[in-house]
A and B are shown apart, each in its own frame.
Chain A
Amino acid sequence: DTGVSQDPRHKITKRGQNVTFRCDPISEHNRLYWYRQTLGQGPEFLTYFQNEAQLEKSRLLSDRFSAERPKGSFSTLEIQRTEQGDSAMYLCASSLGDSYNEQFFGPGTRLTVL
Chain B
Amino acid sequence: DAKTTQPPSMDCAEGRAANLPCNHSTISGNEYVYWYRQIHSQGPQYIIHGLKNNETNEMASLIITEDRKSSTLILPHATLRDTAVYYCIVKSGTYKYIFGTGTRLKVLA
The answer to whether A and B belong to the same complex is no
